[in-house]
Amino acid sequence: MSAILKAFGPAPWQSRRYRAADAFKILLVLWVALLALFNLLPEIDQSISGHFFVRETCGDAGLRNICGHFPYRQEFNLQLLRTLSLRLPYLVALFLLWELADCYSHYGATFNAMRARALKVALGSLIAGPIVLVNFILKSHWGRPRPSTTIDFGGTLDFVQAGSMAGKCLSNCSFVSGEAAGAGWLLCLLFLVPRPLRVPLFAPLATISLLAPALRLAFGAHYLSDVILGWLSSFVVFAGVLALTDSPQPEKKLKIE
């Protein structure tokens, strides 16, 4: 963990670049290890989702073996929080894009290269991670049904373990959670602010970052593996983008002002 945290701190270019690369490798290995764990022990996903599911008596003359619902998804306040958490990363991205445009409106000595680089790392990791990797690749091609659509929880599709491509979901599938990935990206931004601001910002950012995955799990929209792997994927991509975009020129500070 110390290697991961040090990767994002101020340091000479050579040292910071290698630290970011090391953090990427550590996070990627962790992601693959967790995927293997959930794949080998699918009962973890089924058991955790089962805690949020309330069984009911089937009223369709025995056509289904299991009936019930996920009660948290019917709570208006929780639905409102879900909507806010869904849109927040992209609202932040619009603000960062505006900041980047403002940054490039300056020329010569007034141009802040460090600020521009930090903004490009933030926006690039959002595009590469939650948007492309998660929503365009994993969710579109892995076909894992959401918990609420599986037979185990009153649906019609078979359960498949994390990472399996045998699922019958055709679009907007469960593996992995796009909202969890967006929430993880928000917490990644903590590493782009000046160090003195990281401590006061950590608690609110961490709370917001963990809220979206928790709601998706409670709503029966994703399994535990979907939210953990989706959330962690943003850190993997962020570390990779940070390592790839380091320039060989000395840098004093990487921050968004």
Q: Could you give the C-alpha distances from 86 to 75, 92, 227, 243, in angstroms and in order?
A: 16, 11, 13, 28
Task: Supply the DSSP symbol for 158.
Answer: -
Average pLDDT over all residues of the chain: 88
Q: How far apart are CA 136 and CA 192, in angstroms?
A: 26
Handedness of CA 90, 92, 98, 99 (dihedral sign): negative
Q: How confident is the model at residue 1 (pLDDT cuts 50, 70, 90)?
A: very low
Q: How confident is the model at residue 17 (pLDDT cuts 50, 70, 90)?
A: low
Q: How far apart are CA 170 and CA 185, in angstroms?
A: 26
Question: How much of the chain is helix, strand and coil, in % rounded to 5?
Answer: 65, 5, 30
Coil, strand or helix: which one is 33? Answer: helix
Q: How confident is the model at residue 12 (pLDDT cuts 50, 70, 90)?
A: very low
Look at residue 6 and tell me whether its pLDDT is greater than 50.
Answer: no
pLDDT in tens, 132-149: 999 999 999 999 999 999
The pTM is what? 0.88
Look at residue 151 and tell me whether its pLDDT is greater than 80.
Answer: yes
Residue 63: predicted pLDDT: 62
Q: At a CB cut-off of 8 Å and minimum separation 6, what does 171 contact?
A: 140
Domain extent listing, the chain = 2-245
pLDDT in tens, 20-55: 899 999 999 999 999 999 999 999 999 999 999 999
Q: At a CB cut-off of 8 Å and minimum separation 6, what does 29 contact?
A: none
pLDDT in tens, 54-72: 999 887 655 668 899 999 9
Handedness of CA 83, 85, 89, 91 (dihedral sign): positive
Q: Could you give the C-alpha distances from 36 to 33, 169, 229, in angstroms and in order?
A: 5, 21, 11
pLDDT in tens, 200-257: 999 999 999 999 999 999 999 999 999 999 999 999 999 999 999 875 444 444 445 4
Q: How confident is the model at residue 13 (pLDDT cuts 50, 70, 90)?
A: very low
Q: Is 143 left (phi over 0), alpha (psi -120 to 50) or beta?
A: left
Q: Taking CA 157 as the corner, what is the angle to CA 154 and CA 158, rounded to the nearest 5 degrees?
A: 105
